[in-house]
Chain A
Amino acid sequence: MLLKLAWRNLWRQKRRTILTACALALALILSLVMRSTQEGSYANNIENSARFSTGLIQLQDPNFAETQSIDDLLPQSDAFIDIAKQLPDVERVLPRIESFSLAAAADKSKGVMVLGVMPELEDDYSGITSKLVAGRFLKQDDKQVLIGQGLAEYFELTVGDEIVLYGQGYRGQTAAGLYTIKGILHFPVSGLDNQLVYMPLPLAQTLFSTNKQVTAWVLHTKNLSQIEQTVNRLKQVYSEQGKAAGFTDKVNVRDWKALSPEMAQQIAMDKAGGIFMMYLLYGVVGFGLFATILMMTLERQREFGVMLATGLLRPKLLALVMLESGFISLLGIVFGLLVATPILVWFNLHPIQLTGETAQLMLDMGWEPIIPMMLAPWLFIDQILIVLVLMLLCLIYPLWRVYHLDLVTALKGGDHAH
């Protein structure tokens, strides 16, 4: 009964209902698009930086974080890594050597980052062969290297040319070697593109004389949102089970936030800006909504008065007002979702590819120049909840007014009767 009444009441003032619902829908659409764009780019950047540089989690020697020295190593043995592998959430493990050395070709030199990897495993993980712009990908027993495109341009090198690496190896030994370039890789992250030399792990171990040791074990987990738990579990298993093998206190577990704090904080900052903007938007819409609902109730004092006089209980009247507002928000939500969802789905499948200056700007900042959108239920649920909470906030005062309606004045047309 009440439902029907509320529904009919809504359509007595068609225009107002539709406009209010539209305002809500607009706020919902804008916030949804904005938030899903943000979250989408974050996820994309985390994935990118994980796959092509740091990984989601790394096991390192406790000193390595600070020194990044080739002296602070972990064993490359099954006994060591099996402890991590037994965790259900750990999907992949990749051994890597990461160190710096001087590269020289012709009469130029430059400090570069040498990355020693298991080529098949890495390709399987990141599909890095697709980033090859010239030459062929590495095999595990190759004595050749791949270099970043930016670096190749700096040295003016192409496939088949030679490059000298000269640096510091394990425990002060000299690390020097002459390598043929087998291929050139284009990395989306310009910091890497300009200074990366990519070689098979055994070759890197020979270069730096580290034997069967690595600077890091890169772990990939199945679920991006569960990283924290996995990190804690890893710390736990290494301190418990590592005891027998002597690994206690020799392993540092770091997640991507610790590995690239710059990105983590930029994300946090950007997110804060987006959320601020979102609340601002909802604030403005909220004021409009408040005005509408308040007017809707104040205007109808006479009507309410009659209803009360003919025996409607006050709680029921409140329920009626709430139902009406509920309908409006529902309309707004449905309308908003109807518009927003196709947009989000489309851009989720076809991310916007940026071009020109803006793209270059993003590349320079280390971001990939695409704008993917994230489709996640929690994003939708968050926004819908916010709209509902907004509605409730706006209802408090009008409801209070209705509840304390003075019957006599109301029947005369209310305080503001002309």
Chain B
Amino acid sequence: MLINLAWRNLWRNKLRTSIMLSAMVFGLIGVVTMMGFMTGMYGNMIDNAIAWQTSDLQVHNRQYVDNPELKLLIHSPENVTKALASMPEVKAWSSRFLVDGMVASARSSRGIRINGVDIDDEAKVTPLASKLVTGTWLPIEGRHPVLVSQKTADRLKLRLGSKVVLTSSNVEKDVTGAAFRVAGIFKTPSTGFDDGNLYVRRGDLMKMAGLDGVHEIAVVLNTTSSKIGSHFSNELALQVKAKLEIANKGNLNSIRDWQKIQPMLATIISQIGVSNAIVLAIFMLAMGFGIINIMLMSVFERTREFGVLMAVGMQKHKVFTLIILETGLLGVTGGLLGVCGASILVNILQITGIELGGMAEGVGALGVDTTLYPQVSVLEYFSTFVTVIVVSLFAALYPARQILKLSPVDAMAEKH
């Protein structure tokens, strides 16, 4: 009964109600899209970091993590790989030999990390082999092939087949170097990564450094990017880590999941929620003021009417409920329309994507693709919707109280 009355009351002044609904729809679409954009951007950043840089898990010598010395190789890497091979959830792994050094062409030189990789294994772990700008993935045959990034190639004026000299210190602490030929040029979403990494065959690099072994084993799991549902979770990685620790005798190797390797990623995940909540709160505050205003007007216009209702015997709490219901219905309608509108827009944007090509270098520094797809989870739609209703109900309290303070006689005598 009351609901019916409230709904009808709401539409007595169609113009006013429509304006308020428009405000809600406009604001909700904007806010949800913005939240989706931010989640999409950071989600993409994390996806890329896992795919290209950290993988799901990495194994190092325990000391190497703090102090990346050439000598600090993984203890008995064959035990690690044997354990990995027996686990069904592991998709692939790659053993790497790492050296910090210099890359120089006739034109210029840069500091760089030289990644010595096993060709087949690495191709399964990172998308590198399939995302070459030109050239081919490191060949098995041929003398000293190297993959450089597009950025390094530009800096050093390199083309396919160009010669570069890699230098570093070797195990005897002498400076050593060798000439390599560019076999391919790659480009990852992160300019920082591109700036600081190049790839050679592990065998070539070990010969140059005068040492055999493995510095790093990167592991990817079957469930891609450790993504469970729409939330970033390292749960699966932690399970595999626990199994690996059994094979890790004497705790000599460090096994880290992607959140440990780049704590920044974990921080970002927790930041997304916070920043989205702030955006939503600011917007709700502004909307709350609007609703209070509208309801105040609508209530005071009808002071006499409420006086009559009370005089003919409607209990005060029912009048109160009526006002609350009116605002609640306004909130539900606005919230529903807004969330529907937002989901339509977000779905369209998920197909078309948001082009950030003009900002290529800026997004590259963050490790984000130039086309972004906003991400909004069902939970986020739902919590936005609930927030709208809660805010509307709160906004109704003040106007409702104002009416209840009046006695029926005063209310009926009210003029405007």
Q: Which residues of A contact B (CB under 8 A)?
A: 15-16, 19-20, 22-23, 26-27, 30, 66-71, 99-102, 104, 106-113, 154, 156, 164, 166-168, 172, 191, 195, 261-269, 273, 276-277, 280-281, 283-288, 290-292, 294-295, 298-299, 357-358, 360-361, 364-366, 416
Contact = CB atoms under 8 A, between A and B. Distances in A.
Residue from A101, A268, A366 having most chain B Cβ neighbours under 10 A: A101
Given A269-B359, A299-B301, A360-B263, A68 B20 contact: no
A361 B286 contact: no
Interface in B278-326: 279, 282-283, 285-287, 289-290, 292-294, 296-297, 301
B26 A283 contact: yes
A102 B191 CA distance: 21
Contacts of B173: 104, 106-107
Given A71-B107, A277-B34, A281-B283, A360 B264 contact: yes
Contacts of B38: 273
A357 B112 contact: no
B157 A67 contact: yes
B409 interface: no
Contacts of B19: 287, 290-291, 294
B362 interface: yes
Given A287-B290, A291-B297, A361-B267, 8 more contacts: A102-B169, A261-B361, A265-B359, A268-B359, A287-B19, A287-B26, A288-B293, A357-B263
A286 B20 CA distance: 10
B34 A280 contact: yes
Residue from A16, A164, A269, A366 having most chain B Cβ neighbours under 10 A: A269
Interface string B15-44: 110011011001100110010011000000
Contacts of B23: 283-284, 286-288, 291
Contacts of A283: 23, 26-27, 30
Interface in B148-183: 154-157, 167-169, 171, 173, 175
B341 interface: no
Contacts of A358: 267, 271
A291 B290 contact: yes
22 contacts: A19-B296, A27-B286, A30-B286, A66-B157, A69-B108, A71-B108, A100-B110, A104-B173, A104-B175, A112-B111, A166-B175, A167-B102, A265-B363, A269-B359, A269-B362, A280-B31, A285-B290, A288-B290, A290-B19, A292-B294, A295-B297, A299-B416
A284 B104 CA distance: 57
The B interface is mostly helix, strand or loop, or mixed, namely helix
A27 B294 CA distance: 17
A277 B276 CA distance: 12
A167 B175 CA distance: 11
Contacts of A154: 68
B155 to A, nearest CB: 6
Contacts of B110: 68, 100, 111
A113 B108 contact: no
Contact of B111 (A113, A285, A366): A113
B69 A281 contact: no
Contacts of B236: none
B101 interface: yes
B49 to A, nearest CB: 11
A16 B298 CA distance: 11
B139 interface: no
The A interface is mostly helix, strand or loop, or mixed, namely helix
Interface string B88-102: 000000000001111
B85 interface: no
Contact of A294 (B16, B156, B167, B270): B16
Contacts of B360: 265
User: Can you list the 4 inter-chain pairs with the closest CB atoms, starting with the nearest?
Assistant: A111-B111, A265-B362, A288-B290, A287-B23
Contact of A111 (B27, B100, B107, B264): B100
Nearest to B165: A168
Given A104-B169, A107-B69, A109-B100, A284 B26 contact: yes
Contacts of B283: 280-281, 284
B13 A269 contact: no
A99 B360 CA distance: 26
A71 B37 CA distance: 44
Interface in B80-132: 99-104, 106-112
B309 to A, nearest CB: 14
Residue from A15, A68, A268, A291 having most chain B Cβ neighbours under 10 A: A291
Contact of B102 (A19, A67, A100, A263): A100
Given A100-B102, A280-B31, A262 B361 contact: yes
Contacts of A20: 293
Contacts of B100: 108-111
Residue from B157, B290, B358 having most chain A Cβ neighbours under 10 A: B290
Nearest to A267: B362
B339 interface: no
Residue from A26, A276, A287, A294 having most chain B Cβ neighbours under 10 A: A287
A288 B108 CA distance: 61
Contact of A361 (B264, B297, B365): B264
A23 B23 CA distance: 14
